């Protein structure tokens, strides 16, 4: 249990007759980046609010570091909600100090750390500016700083990259990885599947208030493999198809003179090696790749099947 930071056991939540969460079990390994996925309205936000103790679950337990999740543990969490903002009329520095103090830092420490972060992001000049003078991306940067200022053990980020240009998005991405390297655990909610593949170690997929899939990203992708391969070769397409006909099914083909690209599914117990052995005499192979489903494919497939 020691390598699980956060665990939710059979969490359910109802609003009147509407079931927002139905018996959710999730465990987040320590030091991992955990993707919380699901279509709009699936219950992700409710679940995240429960983790943040904003909403109380009707039933179920939450464990933090293997013990009961207490009110004061909230100070070990950093939360960047999807619906986020700052006081427009307040100065940036003053506001950051206020929010840092609300997270339990004392004023002196908060000031010291803010100075460090402002320098790191090159935004020292913003201290006395009002938030309404900042662009959306600038405000997002300030918000990120405020979220991580108290060095939380658990960082919950809901769509952290929206509003950032690619340069700043990659800056934030690097920061997230850096924070993880220092030992923090990150729960990450997003609709962008490419960032899930890029960053997440494991995921849980919630749909219609229920968890329908979870595990590590590599496992899940392996699980959804369909034994499909793409082969690029120079040679005669007819000879090639004749050579494979018993062991594989041809899904797609492209021909440009004698340069061909085919997508095929290996059938039954046949292995890729035997397939290559069969086709080797007929052509010159340029590339041979397994087609692993993307998280996006898996997302769409599982949600639609549900």
- Binding residues for other proteins, per CB under 8 A? 15-16, 49, 52-54, 74-75, 77, 79-81, 83-90, 98-99, 101-104, 143, 146
Residue recorded with tokens 């034994």: 227
For residue 41, the minimal CB distance to other proteins (Å) is: 13
Beta bridge partners of 260: 233, 255
Residue 241 CB, nearest approach to other proteins (Å)? 56
Q: How far is the CB of 20 from other proteins (least distance, A)?
A: 11
In the bound state with other proteins, the residue whose beta carbon lies nearer, of 42 and 283, is 42
**Distance of alpha carbon 38 from its chain centroid, rounded?**
11
Least separation in angstroms between CB 4 and other proteins? 22
In degrees and rounded to multiples of 5, residue 261 shows phi and psi of -130, 125
* Closer to other proteins by Cβ: residue 16 or 125: 16
For the bound state, the minimum distance from the C-beta of residue 304 to other proteins, rounded and expressed in Å, comes to: 27
Q: Find the shortest distance in angstroms from Cβ 196 to other proteins.
A: 23
Residue 182: phi and psi, rounded to 5, are: -75, -5
**Distance separating alpha carbons of residues 146 and 159, to the nearest angstrom:** 16
Q: Which is nearer to other proteins, 90 or 169 (CB)?
A: 90
Which lies closer to other proteins via its Cβ, residue 7 or residue 82? 82
Eight-state DSSP code of residue 300: H
Q: What single DSSP character describes residue 294?
A: P
Residue number, 83 or 256, with CB nearest to other proteins: 83
CB proximity list for 175: less than 8 A, separation 6 or greater? 144, 148
Residue number, 71 or 269, with CB nearest to other proteins: 71
Contacts of 75 (CB under 8 A, 6+ apart): 103, 104, 150, 152
Q: Are strands 259-266 and 228-235 parallel, antiparallel or unpaired?
A: antiparallel
Q: What are phi and psi of 83, to 5 degrees?
A: -85, 95
d(CA 49, CA 56): 8
């Amino acid at each position: 249990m020691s390598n699980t930071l956060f665990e939710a056991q059979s969490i359910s939540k109802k609003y009147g007759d509407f079931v927002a969460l139905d018996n959710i079990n999730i465990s987040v390994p320590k030091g991992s980046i955990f993707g919380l996925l699901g279509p709009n309205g699936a219950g992700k936000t409710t679940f995240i609010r429960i983790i943040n103790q904003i909403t109380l679950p009707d039933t179920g337990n939450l464990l933090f570091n293997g013990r009961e999740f207490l009110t004061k543990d909230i100070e070990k969490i950093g939360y960047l909600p999807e619906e986020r903002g700052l006081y427009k009329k307040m100065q940036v520095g003053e506001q950051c100090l206020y929010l840092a103090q609300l997270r339990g830092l004392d004023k002196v420490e908060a000031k010291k750390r803010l100075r460090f972060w402002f320098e790191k992001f090159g935004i020292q000049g913003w201290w006395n500016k009002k938030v309404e003078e900042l662009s959306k991306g600038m405000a997002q940067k300030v918000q990120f700083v405020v979220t991580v200022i108290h060095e939380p053990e658990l960082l919950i980020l809901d769509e952290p990259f929206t509003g950032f240009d690619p340069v700043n998005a990659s800056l934030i991405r690097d920061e997230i990885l850096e924070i993880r390297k220092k030992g923090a655990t990150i729960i990450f909610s997003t609709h962008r599947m490419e960032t899930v593949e890029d960053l997440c170690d494991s995921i849980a997929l919630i749909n219609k208030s229920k968890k329908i899939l979870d595990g590590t990203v590599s496992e899940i992708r392996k699980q959804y493999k369909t034994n499909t391969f793409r082969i690029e070769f120079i040679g005669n397409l007819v000879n090639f198809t004749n050579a494979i006909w018993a062991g594989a099914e041809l899904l797609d083909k492209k021909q440009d003179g004698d340069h061909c690209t085919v997508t095929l599914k290996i059938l039954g117990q046949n292995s890729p090696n035997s397939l290559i052995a069969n086709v080797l005499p007929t052509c010159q192979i340029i590339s041979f790749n397994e087609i692993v489903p993307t998280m996006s494919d898996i997302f769409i497939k599982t949600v639609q099947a549900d």
